[in-house]
Amino acid sequence: MANLALGLPTMGTMENSDLLKELRIDRGGTQARSRRLPWILLGVIALLALAGGVWFALAGSPALPVHTAVAQPMATAGTNASVLDATGYVTARREATVSAQITGTLTEVLIEEGERVEAGQVLGRVEDTAQRAALAQAQAQLQAAQASLVQFQAQLAQSRRDLQRNEDMVGRKLVSQQAVEQARTLVDTGAAQLQAQQRQVELAQAGVQSAQVQLGYCTVRAPFSGVVIAKAAQVGEIVSPFSAGGGFTRTGIGTIVDMDSLEVEVDVNEAYINRVQPNQPVDSVLNAYPDWKIPSHVIAIIPTADRSKATVKVRIGLNVKDGRVLPDMGVRVSFLDDDKPAAHVQQQPRGVLVPATALRKDGDKDIVFVLKEQKAQRRAVTLGGSVGQSRQVQAGVSAGETVIVDAPDELKDGAAVTPAKP
């Protein structure tokens, strides 16, 4: 009661006020936490960026696709050095357009381009009805002449027997001398007739042979072994050994080339013809196969000059027969010097050959990139001369190593690369 009177808080009142304080929101703490949140986010972003950089460094940049080539060893220096280069074409010494020897209509054509034929092989046939009829007539004339010959032989034999009897009887005075002379005249006449008939038989035999030849002209045969490079006529067309004009008559059914007779003809400037000698060794390179050197030799120097071109034609024989060599192919030839000392001849050239597109300039240095363990390795190199589309690398690259050709500008030493698919 005393406490109530004095106005002091009771126990129950104090407990309620403490509870109210506990329920009150502390706004100061919330504001502190909101100020720390941006810094936490920045820290997370920084950690993520750091992790990405580490991963990129470990994983490396993506491999760059590149084209490659293998460094080739230099071939042993040949027997000689080139003293003159020229260009020409492959030609055939034996090439023929084959035709029938008479004018007629084709009934068969038995060839196709690219086919190999042998000497004497039938290539086509011409209508031969008239020729067969002429042959039959000539054979009949021969048989008639042979029958007449038998008749004359019998008559002569009879005349000789009559003469023999008359000669026996004239000695016994049984026949007159005139009868003997008449019998002798009949023998001489029969002998002359028999000889004339023998000539008729020979004439008839010649007529049969002529008819057979004419019939043979209806069959077109290969004059030599070779390859058909052109088929010029079809069945039903008229062929003739003579040019009839008008475009209706063919002068041949096909063209054959003896591939074993192929050689090279080049025009050499007359100012340098003194560098060429018969049997001189030559390297021939077909335009179609620039990496293939064909051993060759000079066959002959044609003893005349072309005044319009100031050149002299030179025939070159190929020492190697190969199916890749075809008529009219372009050829580059190198006439070789046959007077080099033996020590120089056997000298082994240094370095390797790489494509010219593998070379790059880095300041005053020549460099290439070599593919090593899927990475580009920069190499400084020492260059030699040019060989076709390649360059001699005397130092810096070994035979068999893979070099990068047409390297992109962004390629650096140690960059990851992968060979591009062809």
| pLDDT of 299 higher than 80 | yes
pLDDT per residue as tens digits for the range 44-83: 676 776 655 544 444 455 677 777 888 887 654 444 567 8
What's the average model confidence in pLDDT over 335-347? 55
Bigger pLDDT: 56 vs 272? 272
Kindly report the CATH number assigned to the domain that includes residue 402.
Answer: 2.40.420.20
HSE at residue 157, side-chain half, CA atoms within 13 A, is 6
Does residue 361 share a domain with residue 319? no
Does residue 229 share a domain with residue 306? no
Q: At 248, is the pLDDT very low, low, confident or very high (cuts 50, 70, 90)?
A: low
Does residue 191 share a domain with residue 152? yes
C-alpha 335/C-alpha 275 separation (Å) is: 8
What's the average model confidence in pLDDT over 293-301? 92
Show which of 158, 189, 216 is a domain's final residue: 216
What's the confidence (pLDDT) of residue 42?
A: 67
Does residue 249 share a domain with residue 105? yes
Number of domains in the chain: 5
Name, in order, each residue with C-beta under 8 angstroms of 347's C-beta and a sequence gap of 6 or more. Answer: 77
What's the average model confidence in pLDDT over 258-264? 92
Q: Write the DSSP assignment of 113-127 as a string of letters.
A: TT-EE-TT-EEEEE-
C-alpha 62/C-alpha 417 separation (Å) is: 8
Does residue 205 share a domain with residue 177? yes
Does residue 302 share a domain with residue 175? no
Does residue 156 share a domain with residue 113? no
CA distances from 419 to 12, 69, 376 (A): 90, 10, 11
Does residue 135 share a domain with residue 114? no
What's the average model confidence in pLDDT over 209-236? 91
Q: What is the share, in percent, of the chain residues with pLDDT greater than 90?
A: 33
**Sheet harboring 249-250: ordered strands across?**
219-221, 122-126, 104-109, 238-239, 249-250
φ/ψ of 322, rounded to 5, equals: -145, 145
Do residues 145 and 208 make contact, with C-beta atoms less than 8 angstroms apart? no
What's the confidence (pLDDT) of residue 31?
A: 52
Token duo for residue 314: 């030179």
Q: What is the share, in percent, of the chain residues with pLDDT greater than 70?
A: 78
C-alpha 405/C-alpha 408 separation (Å) is: 9
What's the confidence (pLDDT) of residue 177?
A: 83
What's the confidence (pLDDT) of residue 372?
A: 83
Does residue 138 share a domain with residue 109? no
**SS3 call for 6:** helix
What's the average model confidence in pLDDT over 366-392? 81
Show which of 163, 192, 216 is a domain's final residue: 216
pLDDT per residue as tens digits for the range 407-418: 887 778 888 877
Do residues 227 and 325 make contact, with C-beta atoms less than 8 angstroms apart? no
Does residue 249 share a domain with residue 265? no
Range of the domain at 175: 129-216
Does residue 35 share a domain with residue 109? no
| pLDDT of 253 higher than 70 | yes
Look up residue 392 and give its DSSP letter. Answer: E
Kindly report the CATH number assigned to the domain that includes residue 263.
Answer: 2.40.30.170
Q: At 264, is the pLDDT very low, low, confident or very high (cuts 50, 70, 90)?
A: very high
Does residue 112 share a domain with residue 135? no
CA distances from 366 to 376, 394, 410, 418 (A): 16, 12, 17, 23
**SS3 call for 20:** helix
pLDDT per residue as tens digits for the range 95-147: 998 988 888 899 999 999 989 999 999 999 999 999 999 999 999 999 999 99
Look up residue 271 and give its DSSP letter. Answer: G
CA distances from 117 to 92, 112, 113, 217, 228 (A): 16, 10, 11, 19, 7
C-alpha 97/C-alpha 266 separation (Å) is: 24
**Model pTM score:** 0.52
What's the average model confidence in pLDDT over 251-261? 90
pLDDT averaged over every residue in the chain? 80
Do residues 397 and 354 make contact, with C-beta atoms less than 8 angstroms apart? yes
**Sheet harboring 226-231: ordered strands across?**
95-98, 254-257, 226-231, 116-117
